[in-house]
Amino acid sequence: MPTPTSTEAMPPTGARERAAVTLRDVAQRAGVSMMSVSRAIRSPHQVSPQTLQRVNEAVASMGYVPNLVAGGLRASKSYLVTALVPTTTGPLFAEMVQSLTEALDARGYQVMLGEIGYARSREDALLRAIVGRRPDGIVLTGVMHSEEGRRMLLASGIPVVETWDFTATPIDMLVGLSHERLGEAVCAYLHQRGRRRPALISGDDERAARRHSGFLREAQRRGLPTPAAHFGRSPTTHAEGRLGVATLLASDPDIDAVFCSSDMLALGVLTEARVRGIDVPGRLSVVGFGDLAFAETVSPSLTTVRIDGTRIGQTAAQLIVDRAEGHAVAEPVVDIGFSIVQRESA
């Protein structure tokens, strides 16, 4: 049965109306005419080097992206929402994407999906192309964006929902959770079950890093030795889980629990433990993240952390539609929390 665990309530920031940065705004900042700005952007060879420099500096500082739809004169809504996820190869974000798609389709909107990987530079390139085409909304995974990306989104005036994470300063709206508190909760869970030498196997993405940080903080609070850790590249794999626990056991044979930043890593740990004849959970407790389909049916069944991807998608869709259709958004920041699903492995 799931053990409910919720992050602390996040204070509502209040509905905010965000006006898009316009060509006129850039012209005023650069101290030139709107025609000069338009030429500098579309035909830079037609303006002087001095004007081009002033316009480029204004564009960069304001995060302005030209409207590529109908020459910048869009008279109607696009009924298109763009969603960006780190990867489409794994099932972790599929639940959110499906519920987002279904909820928006019911309101007459369509979803265009983009894969950004785990590199911010790739996200910036996609955002530049997306903002220029002016969709009615943008749904992002995570809250860690480059300064350039953040400026573009703030300047666009397009409704934005950040998901799967938390920040005190969202770009616009947010549906997520605190990964630091999630890490703390898992460490507390293992400690309450008598584990005194926990370790971690983690990917190198930012959300996994915050779970790692929270886990370490809780371990210190409870007087435990600093947990050993093994890091691999995101998206993580079954093979990395096997390698990770083998490496940890070689350096510290007394570890008695492993928290993995993905269920796929945890599956690798279970495989390696079976090969080595290590009893799970008697000798080694294993906790994953994601509650993927196999978590309940693998043997031993996997204790893991579940995030309600369906609720993320449905809530993000509602926020986007409300903002796009000019309705007030009473709760622009929604904390969905998380739950530890207790099964045989811990």
Type of residue numbered 200: L
For residues 217 and 15, give the distance between their C-alpha atoms in angstroms, rounded to a whole number.
34
For residues 205 and 256, give the distance between their C-alpha atoms in angstroms, rounded to a whole number.
25
For residue 258, CA distances in Å to 149, 212, 267 come to: 36, 12, 12
- Note whether 282 and 319 are same-domain residues: no
Residue 259 within a domain: yes
Assess whether pLDDT exceeds 60 at residue 71: no
Containing H/E element for 215?
A: helix 206-221
The secondary structure of 252-274 as a DSSP string is -TT--EEEESSHHHHHHHHHHHH
Angle, CA of 336, 342 and 346, to the nearest 5°: 130
Residue 45 within a domain: yes
Q: Tell me the pLDDT band of 138, cut-offs 50, 70 and 90.
A: very high
277 burial level (CB within 10 Å; 0-12, 13-18, 19+): exposed
Sign of CA dihedral 170, 85, 235, 302: positive
Strand, helix or coil for residue 218: helix
* Mean pLDDT for the chain overall: 89
Q: What is the pLDDT of residue 18?
A: 64
Assess whether pLDDT exceeds 60 at residue 74: no
- Note whether 216 and 296 are same-domain residues: yes
Q: Tell me the pLDDT band of 59, cut-offs 50, 70 and 90.
A: confident
Q: Tell me the pLDDT band of 17, cut-offs 50, 70 and 90.
A: low
- Note whether 201 and 255 are same-domain residues: yes
Q: Tell me the pLDDT band of 72, cut-offs 50, 70 and 90.
A: very low
Give the helix, strand, coil percentages of the chain, each rounded to 5: 45, 15, 40
Are 166 and 7 spatial neighbours (Cβ–Cβ below 8 Å)? yes
Containing H/E element for 80?
A: strand 80-85
Q: Tell me the pLDDT band of 14, cut-offs 50, 70 and 90.
A: very low
Residue 70 within a domain: no
- Note whether 317 and 293 are same-domain residues: no
17 burial level (CB within 10 Å; 0-12, 13-18, 19+): exposed
- Note whether 245 and 127 are same-domain residues: no
| Average confidence (pLDDT) over 66-74 | 55
- Note whether 11 and 137 are same-domain residues: yes
Residue 10 within a domain: yes
Residue 69 within a domain: no
Containing H/E element for 127?
A: helix 120-132
Tens digits of residue pLDDT in 151-180 = 999 989 899 999 999 999 999 999 999 999
For residues 96 and 114, give the distance between their C-alpha atoms in angstroms, rounded to a whole number.
14
Assign residue 152 the CATH number of its domain: 3.40.50.2300
Domain membership of residue 161 as a residue range: 2-58+78-177+309-341
- Note whether 136 and 214 are same-domain residues: no
Residue 205 within a domain: yes
Q: Tell me the pLDDT band of 200, cut-offs 50, 70 and 90.
A: very high
Q: What is the pLDDT of residue 20?
A: 79
- Note whether 198 and 296 are same-domain residues: yes
Tens digits of residue pLDDT in 250-290 = 999 999 999 999 999 999 999 999 999 999 999 999 999 99
User: Which carries the bigger pLDDT value, residue 4 or residue 228?
Assistant: 228
**Which residues in 140-152 are b (16+ Cβ under 10 Å) and which e?**
bbbbbbeebbbbb
Q: What is the pLDDT of residue 132?
A: 84
Tens digits of residue pLDDT in 184-195 = 999 999 999 999
- Note whether 214 and 301 are same-domain residues: yes
How many domains is the chain built from? Answer: 2
Give which of 266, 271, 337 is closest to 306, Cα–Cα: 337
- Note whether 185 and 147 are same-domain residues: no
- Note whether 153 and 272 are same-domain residues: no
Which of 117-121, 257-261, 318-322 has the least mean pLDDT? 117-121
271-278 contacts, C-beta under 8 A, 24 or more apart: 271/238, 271/241, 271/242, 272/241, 272/242, 272/245, 272/246, 273/245, 276/249
Give which of 225, 197, 307, 235 is closest to 88, Cα–Cα: 235
Residue 40 within a domain: yes
199 burial level (CB within 10 Å; 0-12, 13-18, 19+): buried
Which of 73-87, 292-306, 310-324 has the least mean pLDDT? 73-87
Strand, helix or coil for residue 141: strand
Residue 66 within a domain: no
User: Which carries the bigger pLDDT value, residue 156 or residue 12?
Assistant: 156
Assess whether pLDDT exceeds 50 at residue 320: yes
For the ranges 44-53, 57-66, 286-295, the one whose mean pLDDT is highest: 286-295
Q: What is the pLDDT of residue 195?
A: 98
The secondary structure of 41-59 as a DSSP string is HH-GGGS-HHHHHHHHHHH
Q: What is the pLDDT of residue 11?
A: 44
For residues 248 and 290, give the distance between their C-alpha atoms in angstroms, rounded to a whole number.
22
- Note whether 156 and 268 are same-domain residues: no
Q: What is the pLDDT of residue 67?
A: 67
Q: Tell me the pLDDT band of 68, cut-offs 50, 70 and 90.
A: low
